[in-house]
Amino acid sequence: MIVLGNDGRLWREQAPFGVVPPTRQLVDTNVKQFYQGANPPDIFVLGMCGNLWLEHGVASIRVLVDTNVRSFRALGDFSFVWALGTDGNLWLDFAPFGVIPPPNRVLIDSNVLAFQPLDRSDVMVLRHDGTLWLEHGDTGTPTRASISTDVMEFVASDTQNVLVLTSDGELWWKESRRGSIPPVETLIDRTVA
């Protein structure tokens, strides 16, 4: 199990039955965020300084994936990662372990406030101007479809369904059925704080 402490230290803990406290191995320090996927013991580590690393194996061999990263999301097999830069640019990095020079990158969008990847090629993107887009990136030129405007927060369940909180406190369920443009909208609540 991987544990991130309040002090920014990232630990690998192992607790065989009956062993208290668990055995600990320090993986890294000054950690802001991490992701351990389906390939333990490999983990992505975002440092407080904005460097994103792939820590490989128990010996923690490091490969630099990206720099100036505010937040990231990795899915599945570690061959790609969504990275939001401190400059507001959202990148899809193709970073299989051991790639030197740094990974291939596709710029998905700029002026991004928040994002939620849905699969390898689709990502919901909230821009600073309050517009919410479904971006299709993959390895080619990104394409986008407008979902909503005046958005403060959102949670997407898939590429066709998203819960949206607008700046006036309304909570909406938006469903983009095939062929329905604009999406079908259902008002859930008007009093969300």
User: How many CA atoms lie within 13 Å of 114's alpha carbon, on the beta-carbon side?
Assistant: 11
Residues 102/66, Cβ–Cβ less than 8 Å: yes
Residue 102 is predicted with a pLDDT of 54
Lowest mean pLDDT among 12-16, 65-69, 113-117, 137-141: 137-141
Mean pLDDT within 169-179: 80
Rounded to 5 degrees, φ, ψ at 92 are -105, 110
d(CA 41, CA 58): 6
Closest alpha carbon to 90 in 103, 99, 81: 81
Q: Is the pLDDT of residue 150 over 90?
A: yes
Mean pLDDT within 3-32: 81
Mean pLDDT within 72-98: 81
Label residue 42 by pLDDT band (50, 70, 90): confident
Single pTM value for the model: 0.80
Closest alpha carbon to 97 in 42, 50, 19, 168: 42
d(CA 152, CA 167): 5
Q: Is the pLDDT of residue 186 over 90?
A: no
Residue 30 is predicted with a pLDDT of 92
Bridge partners of 133?
125, 146
Mean pLDDT within 112-140: 86
d(CA 63, CA 41): 14
